[in-house]
Structure 1
Amino acid sequence: MHFADIDPKDIPPPPTVDEVAGLFSVPMMSFVAQPSLQELAVGTTGSSLNGGETTLDSVSLTYTLWLNPLDRNDPVNLADLSDSEREALDAPPVRPLPDWMMERRELMRYPMLWEAVLTTRKSDAEWQTPESTLVRHVNHVLMNAFREQRVVGGIPGELDSPVTERHIQRVTLPVDGVDVPSMQIDSDPNVYAVGADLGDRILTAVVSRDHLSSVTMAFVTRGLA
């Protein structure tokens, strides 16, 4: 069956953050609740042993950013879109879309923090360390969310000036109301990043410098009061 033959209204909505959290073997981390941020989407990576059942290895949270959360109709909230992007969103969809797609389509008018908070399950792999996980998260966001500024060549292209572990500095970070030993990368021109080893999992977060002043870099185990 070709995708073009599928009625968009028959496509089910993606799993909710709560549904994914229920499948994850470790607690999921998120930003502390703050008026400027609204959970938009959840992403996952997984692996399987010998083709068996897939296990979630990491879960990422993408957020919509509200620059004026008290008035979401304020034009200051709108993202800096190109004329072609704005025209595409203003035009009616080519085919009727289900409500969840229309809601996502409308939210594309606003800035988002793409895969900003990542929770990674600890594994026995020698290559996985908190430091390597933070570096991979930063370069992943740069490669996908900053392609025009940082990627050279065609798809997939090559990331210009990727971060490395030598860019990591030791800091403390508020997690569940307690300052814990953490890491930061504060040398990249496009993003600021932090991370922490939480025992059974690794927390990392990457935020565009353009939006950093609107975000409180503090974190909580999602679901805790």
Structure 2
Amino acid sequence: MFYDESARLEDVPVPPTLDEVARAFPGPLYGFVPQPSLEPWTSGTASSTSGGRVEIESVAIGYTLWLNPDDHDDPANLAELDDELRASLDAPPVRPLPDWMTAITARMRYPWLWEAVRTTVAHEPAPPWHSVESVLVEHVNHILRNRFRDERVRGGFPGELLGPATEKCVEHDVPLLLDGRPVPGLRIDTDAHVFGVGAHLGDRVLTAVVERDRLPLFDLAFATHRAPA
């Protein structure tokens, strides 16, 4: 593999903060309701180009999961890491890292909910592949493919996802709590590894997918993320 020794880590763009992403996102952005055991710290976006403009189509928020939220230094908060990842995190960096890279490396020692809550722009009329059901199914399979590769993916990258979710798995008329009020939602409760919910909120689709063993550790309720002006 070619490695560019001249590349400078200082030249790598700093990822935008969640608040910066929220301000750039056209309309409401949703996440888990604020609670001590969850700390949002990553966001991923998918964009499209229209008329020469880049438009954000979806935002996914990831969270650090604090098992002892009262003391972040408690070793009980640390994740169970395999030997390879632990050795990689313990090894000194080959070159000095920017502060933001150091922060990300430090967070990798803790359990997290990767791309757990996603807000997707809903276009009207929605094509069949962009219905709320299909968006939830895609989110579930995205998490399975990326977080459970050893258990659920056969072959090299990207590989074949074994037992993927389908729209037949979707339950309707499942209430979700958003900003303290119930909203009609959807649920996928058929997978051995993850649990997924979603809701059609006008021009937005909210979906959330989390590992089953994490469900008892936090409140599965949602809130509109309001970035400071």
Name the TM-score class by shorter chain. over 0.9
Assess if the C-alpha contact under 8 Å between 1:9 and 1:96 holds in 2: no
Return the TM-score normalized by structure 1: 0.95
Say whether 1:217 aligns with 2:213.
no
Partner in structure 1 of residue 154 of structure 2: 152
Deviations 1:124-166 (A, max 9, x none): 3412111111001000111111111110111110100000111
Equivalent-residue separation in structure 2 for 1:189 and 1:62 (angstroms): 21
Partner in structure 1 of residue 206 of structure 2: 203
Partner in structure 1 of residue 137 of structure 2: 135
Within a 5 Å distance, the mapping from 1:51-66 to structure 2 comes to 52-66=52-66
| Unaligned ranges ≥5, structure 2 | none
Deviations 1:10-38 (A, max 9, x none): 32310111111111112100100011111
Equivalent-residue separation in structure 2 for 1:146 and 1:67 (angstroms): 21
Deviates more, 1:96-105 or 1:81-90: 81-90
Partner in structure 2 of residue 16 of structure 1: 17
One-letter amino acid of the structure 1 residue matched with residue 69 of structure 2: P
Deviations 1:143-202 (A, max 9, x none): 111111110111110100000111111210001111111011111000011000111100
Residue 109 of structure 1 aligns to a residue whose secondary structure is coil
Q: 1:224, CA displacement in angstroms? A: 8.1
Say whether 1:45 aligns with 2:59.
no
One-letter amino acid of the structure 2 residue matched with residue 190 of structure 1: H
Assess if the C-alpha contact under 8 Å between 2:22 and 2:226 holds in 1: no
| Unaligned ranges ≥5, structure 1 | none
Equivalent-residue separation in structure 2 for 1:209 and 1:217 (angstroms): 12
Equivalent-residue separation in structure 2 for 1:3 and 1:120 (angstroms): 36
Assess if the C-alpha contact under 8 Å between 1:118 and 1:203 holds in 2: yes
Partner in structure 2 of residue 96 of structure 1: 96
Equivalent-residue separation in structure 1 for 2:215 and 2:68 (angstroms): 15
Give the CA RMSD over aligned residues. Answer: 1.5
Deviations 1:11-67 (A, max 9, x none): 2310111111111112100100011111111100011136x2111110000111111
Residue 186 of structure 2 aligns to a residue whose secondary structure is strand
Equivalent in 174, 180, 184 of residue 181 of structure 1: 184
Residues 3, 219 of structure 1: CA spacing in aligned structure 2 closer, same or farther, 3 A cutoff? farther
Count of residues in correspondence between the two structures: 223
One-letter amino acid of the structure 2 residue matched with residue 45 of structure 1: A
One-letter amino acid of the structure 2 residue matched with residue 22 of structure 1: R
Partner in structure 1 of residue 26 of structure 2: 25
Equivalent-residue separation in structure 2 for 1:120 and 1:162 (angstroms): 21
Q: 1:3, CA displacement in angstroms? A: 4.5
One-letter amino acid of the structure 2 residue matched with residue 223 of structure 1: R
Identity, % of aligned pairs? 52
